[in-house]
Every structure is written in structure tokens, then in C-alpha cells.
Structure 1
Amino acid sequence: MLELRHLSKSYAPGHPVLAGLSYRFDAGEFVAIMGDSGVGKSTLLNLIAGLDHPDPSAQPAILVDGVAMAALDDDAATRLRRQRMGFIFQAFHVLPHLTLLQNVALPLLLNGLPRQRAAEMLAAVGLAGREQSYPHELSGGEMQRVAIARALVHRPALVLADEPTGNLDPETAHAVLALLRTEIRASGACTIMVTHSEAAAAMADRTLILTRAGLQDASVVKRQRH
């Protein structure tokens, strides 16, 4: 579903954040990525999302369903992200001047899809009857539920989540992640979640550790450290 080939990224000469990273993620799996601060977790997510670009020297490639992102012009890459990807951020990025229904309906509107699914997704995340509420009326946990509904409403093949529970208390975080896991399993989306929280990572199907050597299974890293 998602294949990464030879991804490198440096923000200063001689100081790579990522160096030749390659990995493959399958459809329908929920993967958590952990690692030390500064190792490049958010950078990796930004590269996958197309919000940043890998260094070109290693001939990198990011393929979504076999389509190389670098082969697309700006308009085609934007369409692919809009149609095939969903994004969940720690800071929610829910638009304050729109109602909850309008926020969730945005991906449907942008993709020319029927908008009735927005109300269905709000109900799925426990916010039925709140369609005309505004973000300032919500708690942090409710805001993140709106963000999940918006990320999944257009049935994306790939969901990218960057510290989605970083602003939530442990009980709310667990409830939000349980909801996310239920919804992505229903939709069959491949989901990649960057997190610093072991409790959050435990909700995923498997956990990878990002190190300077690349992505490794968490159980392998733990054995190496002991």
C-alpha cells in the first residue's frame, strides 16, 4: 500500500535526520512509530504526506498504491493526497469558524462526494446531535473526535497521525485511540501513527522504532538493548 525507498533528509550539510530509509506498509494495518526526540519521526510523516521533500541524491521514492509521488505534478499530487490520505494532528487543526458538520464535510466537498456521510461519521465518533456546534464549545477529546471523523469521512487508503493524543489526558487518549482503531479497521485504511507514548503505541497492531539505522520492530530493538 505504501512503500518508502531510500529516503534521506538533511536540514544542514553533514547532519542527516534520515539516511536511506526504506520500508513497506500494508493495507489495513495500524502501525505506531516511536523513537527518541529529534530522530526524525515527524519529518518522516511530513515526507510521506508530501509536506516536505526528501533529499534527491539517493533517488528516493514514495509510492502510494504503486504510484510514485515524485512522478506527479503538483496538481496530481494534491489530488492524490486529497483523495487517498487522511490526516490527524496533535493540534487538531479543526477550523474554528465552521460548524462540526462543516469541518467533517470538508474532505467530501473537496472530493465532490455526497455530504451526508459527514453526519454519519459524527455519530460514529459519539457526536450525534452536535452537528451545528462550533469547535470552541468542545473539550479536547471531542475536538480530536472531530479530527478523526474528518480524517476518515472520505474513506482514505492511508491515514497519517502525528501525536494525536499528545494534548489529551490518559483516559480520554485511550478512548480516542480505541475509536480510531475501530474506525480504521472498519474502513481498511493503512494507518501510521507517530507517538512518544507507549500506552498509545500499545493500541496499534505493531510498533516500529525509528533510529539512525531506519525503522525496526520494537521487539527486536528491545532485545538488542538488553
Structure 2
Amino acid sequence: MLELRHLSKSYANARPVLANLSCRFEAGEFIAIMGDSGVGKSTLLNLIAGLDTPDTGAESQPILIDGIAMSSLDDAAATRLRRARMGFIFQAFHVLPHLTLLQNVALPLLLNGLPQERAASMLEAVGLSGRGGDFPQQLSGGEMQRVAIARALVHKPALVLADEPTGNLDPETAHGILQLLRAEIKANGSCAIMVTHSLAAAEMADRTMILTRNGLQNTTPAPKMRETLS
């Protein structure tokens, strides 16, 4: 579903952040990526989404989604691919303040020309039933994070990119949200990549990878929580 081929990224000061990453992620997989702060986890998500540009040239095709090289797409085509095939959960939420909660969640459906009924059910799924007419300024940080999660999942994207999706949630709410995320991934045959510092969150994934300066390394998954969900 997603393939990284010798992906590298350096910042303007020439400090390498990611170097020669190669990895495959399959449909139906829920992957947790952990690692020290500053190692490039959020940068990796931005590169996969096409929101940042890798160092390697277009001819090397370092990022492929369903066999499509992101480097081969112009801005309009990349936007269409993101809109239809991806769901994003950002640390900063990016909930639109001038739209109601229901309108925020329904936005991917609207942009993709899909029926909007699922927006209300996704708000209910994240514990915000009856709040569809509220505006983001009426919410806590944790509630805004749940809106962002509902919006990312509502159009059943093929690829979900989640940057610390439970960072503002209490443990009980976080567990429920991760159960929802896992259930949606499995039901829709999606691929999800979750950056997290939480060991409890990582236990919900199919496998955990550690990002270091030497690349992405598989670890032995902790099966305890996964077995209760299978």
C-alpha cells in the first residue's frame, strides 16, 4: 500500500533528519512509530503526505502510495490524492473555527462528493453525540482532538496518518479512541501509521517500529492488548 524507498530529508542547515529509509506498509496494518524527540517522526508523516519534500530527486521515487510516486504528482494531483485517499490527525488539530463540529467532520465527505450522513455517526463514535451544532471555541483540547479524529476517519481513507492522536486525552478516553481507530482500519482495509510516545497506545498497533538516526527498526509487538481486541 505504502512503500518508502531510500527516503532522506535534511533541513536547511544540512542536518540530516531522515537518511535512506526503506520500508513497506500493507493495507490493513496498524503501525505505531516511536522514537526520541527530534528524531524525525512528524517529519516522516509530513513527507508521506506530500506536505514536505524529500531530498531525493523525483527520478528515485522515494514515496509510493498504491504504486503512485508522490514525486510524480503536481500540486493539484497531490491535493486530490490526499483528499480522497488520506486521513490526517495532527497534533495541532487544525479544526476550522468558523465551522460547526458537524461541518468540520463532514468536510472530507463534502470535498469528495460523498453522502454526509456518516459525519453524525462519527461524532457519536468519538463521544460527542449532540454536539454537532457547537463551534470549536466551545471545546476543550481533548474534545478538539476527538473532532479531528472523527474528521480523519469519516471518509474511510486508505491511509491514516496520526501524529500523537491521544496526546490530549485521558487514559480511558484514549483507550476508546484507539479501539475506534483500530476497528475502522480493520473494517475498511486501511493502513494507519501512528506516531506516539505512549507505550499503551503502541500496544494497540499490529506492530511497533522505532525510528532512530539509523532508520526504522521493527520491535517485537506487545500482544497483550491486541489479543483482547481480536
> What's the TM-score, normalizing by structure 1?
0.90
How many Å separate the matches in 2 of 1:169 and 1:91? 17
User: Structure 1 counterpart of 2:213, which letter?
Assistant: R
Shift of 1:12: 4.1
Q: Tell me which residue corresponds to 2:215.
A: 214
Q: Tell me which residue corresponds to 2:226.
A: none
State how many pairs are aligned: 220
How many Å separate the matches in 2 of 1:196 and 1:112? 36
Task: Map residues 6-25 of structure 1 onto 2, 5 A cutoff.
Answer: 6-12=6-12, 14-25=14-25
Q: Deviations over 1:21-54 (max 9, x none)?
A: 0100000111000011121111111100111010
Indicate conservation of the 8 Å contact 1:91/1:167, yes or no.
no
How many Å separate the matches in 2 of 1:188 and 1:159? 11
User: Structure 2 counterpart of 1:8, which letter?
Assistant: S
- What SS does the corresponding residue of 1:160 show, helix, strand or coil? strand
Deviates more, 1:20-29 or 1:91-100: 91-100
How many Å separate the matches in 1 of 2:125 and 2:37? 34
Shift of 1:146: 1.5
Task: Map residues 147-158 of structure 1 onto 2, 5 A cutoff.
Answer: 147-158=148-159
How many Å separate the matches in 2 of 1:156 and 1:180? 12
Q: Tell me which residue corresponds to 1:96.
A: 97
Percent identity among equivalent residues?
78
Please list every run of 5 or more consecutive structure 1 residues that lacks an aligned counterpart in the other structure: 221-226
Indicate conservation of the 8 Å contact 1:208/1:218, yes or no.
yes
Asked if 1:54 corresponds to 2:62, the answer is no
Indicate conservation of the 8 Å contact 2:61/2:70, yes or no.
no
- What SS does the corresponding residue of 1:142 show, helix, strand or coil? helix
- What SS does the corresponding residue of 2:133 show, helix, strand or coil? coil
Indicate conservation of the 8 Å contact 2:39/2:213, yes or no.
yes
Shift of 1:124: 2.7
Indicate conservation of the 8 Å contact 2:145/2:168, yes or no.
no
How many Å separate the matches in 2 of 1:22 and 1:128? 42
User: Structure 1 counterpart of 2:161, which letter?
Assistant: L
Indicate conservation of the 8 Å contact 1:8/1:60, yes or no.
no
> What's the TM-score, normalizing by structure 2?
0.89
- What SS does the corresponding residue of 2:220 show, helix, strand or coil? helix
